[in-house]
Amino acid sequence: MRDFNETTATAAVLERMSGCKDRRLKEIMASVVTHLHAVVREVEPTMEEWMAAIQFLTQTGQMCDDKRQQFILLSDTLGVSMLVDAINHRKPSGATESTVLGPFHVAGAPKKKMGDTISKDGKGDPTYVSGRVLDQAGQPIAGALLDVWQSSSDGFYDVQDQRQPEMNLRGLFTTAADGRFFFRTAKPSSYPIPTDGPVGKMLMALGRPPMRPAHIHFIIGAPGFEPVTTHLFVAGDEYLDSDAVFGVKGSLIVPFEQHDDAKRAQQLGLANPFFTAEYEFMLVRETG
């Protein structure tokens, strides 16, 4: 190949990979090169624009370490994470839908008993979350593990906020034979994804709000069932239709009802007034 030009470029690069022994790698890289060249042909970047793109990706990489992952945030905000998730978690109707994991999951959350609170500082609006974990026939699943985490009522995860105790608003709950779960917490609020890096600048330049609607994260697993990584979103949140990471699904929006009932509050171990939210998760049996 001595005549690499606008017309021959794509074929030339594909031909150079023809000896690749890994079929899947070859398939993926051929697609990446073909689409990337198509983008370049379509937008015809100036040299300055191309260098700005290189700098953007360089800064994205420079903001990745064992605690921060700016590339995942980039994938999240471009809708790629949710698209990959959708392709990999095609579910039968009625099964709980999945969403992005997000950067704030921490392994090894404290084990809790049903009814416990996950709030270590007692701040925020008292909230009672309950429901059941069911199979597709509507039968309760015993021994399902719910890994729960959420931001504080002012919109920060414990790992982002020195003022919160470690493992605040995190807990692991295991269902009994009735499949029920119930715990106390603080009502979550909407919050911005981290905006101090290139992804934040990108959102700003695109006129996109960095906000996520209020939610509680769950990973739910049970022996013999496919685990699901999901959220429950607070109905009525102003950002449900503009989630910065495209994580919202209608089936995961739940009313958080406010109650003014001192007797019931006392029974549930909450201050009055309080909120309740209820949801039934449905897991799919593993096949094969």
Nearest distance from residue 54's CB to ligand BEZ, in Å? 24
Q: Classify residue 183 by its DSSP letter.
A: E
Of 5-13, 27-35, 100-108, 264-272, the window that binds ligand BEZ (rule: CB under 6 A) is: 100-108
Can 239 be counted among the known catalytic residues? Answer: no
Alpha helices in the chain (DSSP H): 9-16, 23-43, 47-62, 70-77, 80-88, 198-205, 262-268
Q: For residues 57 and 74, give the distance between their C-alpha atoms in angstroms, rounded to a whole number.
A: 10
Q: Which residues pair with 183 in a beta bridge?
A: 129
Can 215 be counted among the known catalytic residues? Answer: yes
Of 82-90, 94-102, 128-136, 164-172, the window that binds Fe ion (rule: CB under 5 A) is: 94-102
Number of residues near ligand BEZ (by CB under 6 A): 9
Q: Which amino acid is at 147?
A: D
What is the spatial order of strands in the sheet that 257-259 belongs to? 180-186, 126-134, 274-282, 257-259
| Rounded CA Rg of the chain | 23
Contact call for residue 188 and ligand BEZ (CB under 6 A): no
The residue ranges of DSSP E strands in the chain, in sequence order, are 126-134, 145-150, 170-174, 180-186, 191-192, 211-212, 215-221, 228-234, 253-254, 257-259, 274-282
What does the block give as tokens for 134?
């069911």
Please pick, among 128, 132, 184, 191, the residue that the annotation labels catalytic: 191
Please pick, among 132, 170, 184, 215, the residue that the annotation labels catalytic: 215
Contact pick of 63, 179, 212, 214 for ligand BEZ (by CB under 6 A): 212
Can 217 be counted among the known catalytic residues? Answer: yes
Contact pick of 100, 148, 220, 277 for ligand BEZ (by CB under 6 A): 100
Please pick, among 128, 212, 231, 279, the residue that the annotation labels catalytic: 212
Contact call for residue 103 and ligand BEZ (CB under 6 A): yes
- The interface mask with ligand BEZ, positions 213-252, x = CB under 6 A, is --------------------------------x-------
Nearest distance from residue 181's CB to Fe ion, in Å? 19
Query: Interface with ligand BEZ by CB under 6 A: which residues?
Result: 73, 76, 100, 102-104, 193, 212, 245
Task: Just list the catalytic residues.
Answer: 157, 191, 212, 215, 217
